[in-house]
Amino acid sequence: MQMQEEREAIIEHCKKLITHGLTVGTGGNISVFNTEYQLMAISPSGMDYFTTKPEDIVLTDLDGKVVEGDRKPSTEVDMHRIYYNMRKDVRAVVHCHSMYSTVLASLRMNLPAVNNYIAIAGGYDIRCAEYGTGGTWTLAENSFRAMEGRYACFLANHGLLTCAADLPSAFMIAEEVERMAEAYYHAKLLGEPVVLDNSEVDVILNKNKNYGQVTQK
């Protein structure tokens, strides 16, 4: 069985979608791209994450053709593979239906820079993609345009999509975006949140390049 490590990581993070409150039931989907095999491992369609086994994870090529696995892949396979085809900086994609991100997506609102963590998604805001029916190439393309220069976007009337160079990072971005969306929602109830200037976000973006335990060589 190919890509055992990626399969296990997907199952682990799919469970975390539930336990961390980012989705319910079998909602959402996760994928990881292996550059050596040029294959995408993606969660199966409509399966309970807590009973999913490594062999249930589906491997496809970048055309979306199943190359290993007996399960049907997530219906959003196109919304994952478009990133691996078009963005060399992306190796993992997380899609979830977290509450406050979905609230903003239902209003087709962008999330402005009202929190200094906005830079974690790569830019000055988090955009809401134009609407596309779930499981269609239109949705994949709309998300891709909204994600330009970013690592997160809202899907109109749907939910949240994030991506990164690895799965832990893509999942962390999803959690942080949901936290910011919740803070924005509550702040709007009390008044008009103050939006950070682009120049301040630029400073934070630059600082983020050296965030964490950077090894000196």
pLDDT digits (tens, 9 = 90+) for 25-34: 999 999 999 9
Residue 180 resides in a domain:
yes
Any idea what the CATH number is for the domain that residue 111 is in? 3.40.225.10
- Catalytic residue from among 6, 76, 175, 178: 76
Residue 134 resides in a domain:
yes
Q: Indicate the pLDDT class of residue 210, thresholds 50, 70 and 90.
A: low
Q: Indicate the pLDDT class of residue 208, thresholds 50, 70 and 90.
A: confident
Residue 191 resides in a domain:
yes
Residue 216 resides in a domain:
no
d(CA 60, CA 43): 11
State the chain's maximal CA–CA distance in angstroms: 54
76 catalytically annotated: yes
Residue 69 resides in a domain:
yes
Residue 213 resides in a domain:
no
CB-based burial, 177-215: b 16+ in 10 Å, e otherwise: bbebbbbbbeeeeeeebeebeeeebeebbeeeeeeeeee
CA distances from 127 to 33, 41, 63, 139, 161 (A): 24, 27, 27, 14, 11
The answer to whether 159 and 97 are in contact (CB under 8 A) is: yes
Q: Indicate the pLDDT class of residue 213, thresholds 50, 70 and 90.
A: very low
Q: Quick one: which of 21, 20, 10, 77 has its CA closest to 49? A: 10
CA distances from 101 to 2, 61, 195 (A): 34, 30, 18
The yes-or-no verdict on residue 104 having pLDDT over 70 is: yes
- How much is the average pLDDT of 166-171? 98
Return the number of other C-beta atoms located less than 10 Å from residue 143's C-beta: 28
Domain count, the chain: 1
Residue 172: give the domain boundaries.
4-208
Query: Which residue carries 């993992």 as its tokens?
Result: 92
Summarised one tens digit per residue, pLDDT across range 36-88 is 999 999 999 999 999 999 999 999 999 999 999 999 999 999 999 999 999 99
Residue 165 resides in a domain:
yes
Residue 217 resides in a domain:
no
d(CA 47, CA 129): 27
Which pLDDT score is estimated for 182?
98
